[in-house]
Amino acid sequence: MLTPLKNRIFRHMFTAQLVALLGTGLATVALGLLAWHLAGDDAGQVLGAALAIKMVAYVFLAPVAAAVAQRLPRRAFLVTLDLIRAGVVLFLPFVTEVWQIYVLIFTLQAASAGFTPAFQATIPDVLPNERDYTNALSLMRLTEDLEQIASPLAAAALLTVVSFPVLFAGTVVGFLLSALMIATVAFPPRTPSAVDRFWASTTQGLRIYLATPRLRGLMLMEGAVAAAGAMVFVNTVVLVQARFGLGEPQVALAFAAFGAGSMLAAVALPKILERVDDRTVMLSGAGLMVACVALTPLAAGLWELMAFWSLIGFGFACTQVPIGRILTRSAREQDRTAVFAAQFALSHACWLVTYPLAGWLGAAFGLPSAAFGLGALGAVAMVAVLWLWPAQDPETLEHDHPDLPADHPHMLAHANYHSHAFMIDDLHQQWPRTKTH
């Protein structure tokens, strides 16, 4: 799994992600304390609104940011967004009104909506070998899971000697170090896109996404993942403290179980994906998540809940690690940022629906009903995935071009009825219905 770190460019990118994640984790703790400082007992409402603002920024701004990124040098674009994020966080300790939090959070997440897809789309260019790329995806998944454990521990240690606003300084340092790591490498040259109009660039990723069967299936699978994951992220504290009558340390243990399951999968997946195709691994992971959420009411105590949560975490990583491979296989190099942005926006749109749904179902009908309801929603999404994403999904497809003249360069390079690695682009705007091989 550590092989990609031999690549200097990826090593710098990985370090950039690591320090940025640690800084973001510190900011999460600090933001909760800031909300409590400003709003007291209404802090939950403030954080809920901030989370909604984050999702809205991700859903609506990621495609726009991808269109901007397409026209700018990648390194300068990523460094600038890191500096913007550092600058925004620098203001957070000085806010005195709740609305100021909302404005700063929107600005921060708008920058992240541009940074994350562009960053992710660069990795396959840096690591063109599929095995190295798969190892890199698992390594980055593992890093994200470790951050969920390390950041709260680091915040707790810091809070014993400093007040919470100092945690924001750690976030600023994280983003600045990320910018420094990215600034010190030269990315491989990017193939220029033929799309000139800004609106066409903005919708390019979504058009490719919706025209590709495996990506339509992936979108529905993300719905199943969000339905199951929302139960974990929204209702864990209620399950542990209200249903089981336990305290905050036990809430942390439940979340740690989810992270441990995800880390275990991240370590195992590079070998698994050498033997099992992406679709099977992802369907198995999503199915495991949905089944365990539906069975959550059977948990009689913390240990049973931790067992379910660890299985859900394992399934979660199985669905998330292969995504980069699927997107890279489904788009030309010059369209990758747009497609990664479409994935980023659509997946967060799913969470934007399931987060409040999980809370509402639990409050209105009880936690067992919430588990059954979210499990049922996930099951329906899984059925749709099986229908939309064909089991036989080769990269090479036979097709023709009745709309192209015989002297078109593409027709001169291929026979009238030909086959090659098929991706949606300007010459291939619909998925062929021809026989595959």
Q: Are residues 133 and 107 in the same domain?
A: yes
Lowest model confidence (mean pLDDT) among 10-14, 96-100, 288-292, 297-301: 96-100
Averaged over 68-76, what is the pLDDT? 83
Q: For residues 159 and 73, what is the distance between their CA atoms, to the nearest angstrom?
A: 40
Q: Are residues 241 and 278 in the same domain?
A: yes
Any domain includes 20:
yes
Structure confidence at residue 414 as a pLDDT band (50, 70, 90): low
Among the candidates 188, 223, 249, a domain finishes at 188
Lowest model confidence (mean pLDDT) among 54-58, 76-80, 195-199, 226-230: 195-199
Q: For residues 174 and 394, what is the distance between their CA atoms, to the nearest angstrom?
A: 41
- pLDDT at residue 227, as a whole number: 94
Q: Are residues 180 and 250 in the same domain?
A: no
Under 8 Å CB-to-CB from 412, ≥6 apart: which residues? none
- The chain-wide mean pLDDT, for the chain, equals 84
Among the candidates 132, 159, 188, a domain finishes at 188
Alpha carbon separation from 266 to 57, 147, 259, 342 (Å, rounded):
28, 14, 10, 24
- Evaluate if residue 196 carries a pLDDT over 60: no
Q: Are residues 299 and 379 in the same domain?
A: yes
Any domain includes 327:
yes
Any domain includes 104:
yes
Are the beta carbons of 241 and 251 closer than 8 angstroms? yes
Alpha carbon separation from 43 to 38, 155, 267, 283, 362 (Å, rounded):
8, 19, 37, 38, 20
Any domain includes 3:
yes
Residue 372 has a CB neighbour count (10 Å cut-off) of 18
Q: Which tens digit of pLDDT belongs to each residue from 145-161? A: 777 667 666 776 777 77
Q: Are residues 294 and 342 in the same domain?
A: yes
Q: Are residues 263 and 344 in the same domain?
A: yes
Q: Are residues 118 and 248 in the same domain?
A: no
Q: Name the residue among 25, 23, 34, 28 with its Cα closest to residue 171.
A: 23
Q: Name the residue among 417, 424, 423, 434 with its Cα closest to residue 395.
A: 423
Report residue 413 as tokens: 């390079």
Q: For residues 407 and 229, what is the distance between their CA atoms, to the nearest angstrom?
A: 52
Q: Are residues 165 and 209 in the same domain?
A: no
Q: For residues 170 and 156, what is the distance between their CA atoms, to the nearest angstrom?
A: 13
**Cα dihedral sign for 234, 239, 243, 244?**
negative
Any domain includes 95:
yes
- pLDDT at residue 436, as a whole number: 41
Q: At 419, which helix (H) or strand (E)?
A: strand 417-421
Any domain includes 434:
no
- Evaluate if residue 380 carries a pLDDT over 90: yes
Any domain includes 63:
yes
Averaged over 285-305, what is the pLDDT? 95
For residue 360, the number of C-alpha atoms closer than 13 Å in the C-beta half-sphere is 7
Q: Which of 26-30, 98-102, 373-377 has the highest mean pLDDT?
A: 373-377
- pLDDT at residue 193, as a whole number: 58
What is the DSSP secondary-structure string of 260-271?
HHHHHHHHHHHH
The range of the structural domain enclosing residue 72 comes to: 1-188
What is the DSSP secondary-structure string of 104-163?
HHHHHHHHHHHHHHHHHHHHHHH--SHHHHHHHHHHHHHHHHHHHHHHHHHHHHHHTTS-
Any domain includes 437:
no
| CATH number of the domain within which 262 lies | 1.20.1250.20
Q: Are residues 232 and 115 in the same domain?
A: no
- pLDDT at residue 437, as a whole number: 38
Q: Which tens digit of pLDDT belongs to each residue from 308-338? A: 999 999 999 999 999 989 988 888 777 788 8
Q: Are residues 248 and 351 in the same domain?
A: yes
Q: For residues 265 and 285, what is the distance between their CA atoms, to the nearest angstrom?
A: 10
Total domains in the chain come to 2
Q: Are residues 219 and 164 in the same domain?
A: no
pTM: 0.83
Q: Are residues 165 and 302 in the same domain?
A: no
Q: Name the residue among 431, 414, 395, 221 with its Cα closest to residue 323.
A: 221
Q: Which tens digit of pLDDT belongs to each residue from 264-283? A: 999 999 999 999 999 999 99
Q: Which of 274-283, 390-399, 403-412, 414-423 has the highest mean pLDDT?
A: 274-283
Among the candidates 188, 211, 228, a domain finishes at 188
Q: For residues 109 and 86, what is the distance between their CA atoms, to the nearest angstrom?
A: 12
Averaged over 293-308, what is the pLDDT? 94
